[in-house]
Amino acid sequence: MKKMRKTRRKFTSEFKTRVAIEAIKERYTLSELAKRFELHPNQISMWKHEFLEKSSIVFEKKQSKSKEEIIDIDKLYTKIGKLEMERDFLKKNLMRVNLLK
Protein backbone atom coordinates (compact mmCIF):
# COMPACT_ATOMS: atom_id res chain seq x y z
CA MET A 1 0.00 0.00 0.00
CA LYS A 2 1.35 3.42 -1.00
CA LYS A 3 1.21 6.33 1.37
CA MET A 4 -0.69 9.33 0.12
CA ARG A 5 1.53 12.35 0.21
CA LYS A 6 0.04 15.69 1.07
CA THR A 7 0.81 18.41 -1.40
CA ARG A 8 1.75 21.81 -0.13
CA ARG A 9 -0.92 24.43 -0.26
CA LYS A 10 -0.14 27.70 -1.94
CA PHE A 11 -1.65 30.91 -0.65
CA THR A 12 -2.16 34.16 -2.48
CA SER A 13 -0.68 37.37 -1.17
CA GLU A 14 -4.22 38.67 -0.58
CA PHE A 15 -5.02 35.72 1.66
CA LYS A 16 -1.77 36.10 3.61
CA THR A 17 -2.46 39.81 4.04
CA ARG A 18 -5.98 39.17 5.30
CA VAL A 19 -4.73 36.60 7.83
CA ALA A 20 -1.90 38.88 8.97
CA ILE A 21 -4.26 41.82 9.47
CA GLU A 22 -6.64 39.66 11.48
CA ALA A 23 -3.71 38.61 13.65
CA ILE A 24 -2.64 42.23 14.12
CA LYS A 25 -6.14 43.24 15.17
CA GLU A 26 -5.89 40.71 18.02
CA ARG A 27 -9.65 40.22 18.20
CA TYR A 28 -9.11 36.47 18.15
CA THR A 29 -6.36 34.26 19.56
CA LEU A 30 -3.89 32.58 17.25
CA SER A 31 -5.61 29.26 17.94
CA GLU A 32 -8.97 30.66 16.89
CA LEU A 33 -7.49 32.16 13.74
CA ALA A 34 -5.69 28.89 12.99
CA LYS A 35 -8.97 26.98 13.14
CA ARG A 36 -10.81 29.61 11.14
CA PHE A 37 -8.25 29.75 8.32
CA GLU A 38 -7.11 26.11 8.64
CA LEU A 39 -3.50 27.05 9.29
CA HIS A 40 -0.89 26.37 11.92
CA PRO A 41 -0.54 29.17 14.51
CA ASN A 42 3.19 29.43 13.75
CA GLN A 43 2.39 30.17 10.10
CA ILE A 44 0.08 33.00 11.13
CA SER A 45 2.77 34.41 13.41
CA MET A 46 5.32 34.29 10.59
CA TRP A 47 3.00 36.10 8.17
CA LYS A 48 2.16 38.70 10.81
CA HIS A 49 5.85 39.32 11.53
CA GLU A 50 6.69 39.57 7.81
CA PHE A 51 3.76 41.93 7.23
CA LEU A 52 4.88 44.25 10.03
CA GLU A 53 8.51 44.21 8.86
CA LYS A 54 7.64 45.14 5.29
CA SER A 55 4.81 47.57 6.03
CA SER A 56 7.15 50.59 5.83
CA ILE A 57 7.53 49.96 2.09
CA VAL A 58 4.00 51.26 1.59
CA PHE A 59 5.01 54.76 2.66
CA GLU A 60 8.27 54.98 0.72
CA LYS A 61 8.45 57.24 -2.30
CA LYS A 62 7.82 55.42 -5.53
CA GLN A 63 10.82 54.99 -7.80
CA SER A 64 8.86 55.25 -11.02
CA LYS A 65 9.60 58.19 -13.26
CA SER A 66 7.04 60.93 -13.41
CA LYS A 67 5.79 62.37 -16.69
CA GLU A 68 7.79 65.54 -16.06
CA GLU A 69 11.04 63.57 -15.83
CA ILE A 70 10.26 61.74 -19.05
CA ILE A 71 9.49 65.03 -20.84
CA ASP A 72 12.73 66.56 -19.54
CA ILE A 73 14.71 63.60 -20.87
CA ASP A 74 13.06 63.98 -24.28
CA LYS A 75 13.93 67.70 -24.29
CA LEU A 76 17.54 66.89 -23.43
CA TYR A 77 17.84 64.36 -26.25
CA THR A 78 16.35 66.91 -28.65
CA LYS A 79 18.86 69.50 -27.45
CA ILE A 80 21.74 67.05 -27.90
CA GLY A 81 20.64 66.32 -31.46
CA LYS A 82 20.41 70.03 -32.26
CA LEU A 83 23.88 70.71 -30.81
CA GLU A 84 25.40 67.85 -32.79
CA MET A 85 23.90 69.23 -36.00
CA GLU A 86 25.27 72.71 -35.23
CA ARG A 87 28.71 71.27 -34.49
CA ASP A 88 28.74 69.33 -37.76
CA PHE A 89 27.66 72.47 -39.65
CA LEU A 90 30.45 74.50 -38.06
CA LYS A 91 33.05 71.80 -38.82
CA LYS A 92 32.08 71.74 -42.48
CA ASN A 93 32.19 75.51 -42.79
CA LEU A 94 35.52 75.80 -40.95
CA MET A 95 37.02 73.20 -43.24
CA ARG A 96 35.70 75.10 -46.27
CA VAL A 97 37.15 78.40 -44.95
CA ASN A 98 40.52 76.80 -44.24
CA LEU A 99 40.64 75.28 -47.72
CA LEU A 100 40.00 78.64 -49.37
CA LYS A 101 42.88 80.36 -47.60
More confident residue, 41 or 4: 41
pLDDT of residue 25: 95
Span 42-91, pLDDT tens digits: 999 999 999 999 988 888 776 666 666 777 888 888 999 999 999 999 98
Which helix or strand (DSSP H or E) is residue 31 part of?
Answer: helix 30-37
Gap between the Cα atoms of 13 and 26, Å rounded:
20
Per-residue pLDDT at 7 exceeds 60 = yes
pLDDT of residue 6: 78
- Element (DSSP H or E) covering residue 13: helix 13-25
**Residue 69 identity (one-letter amino acid):** E
Does the pTM exceed 0.85?
A: no
* CA neighbor of 11 nearest in space, from 35, 54, 44, 41: 44
Q: Which pLDDT belongs to residue 67?
A: 66
Most confident of 11-20, 60-69, 88-97: 11-20
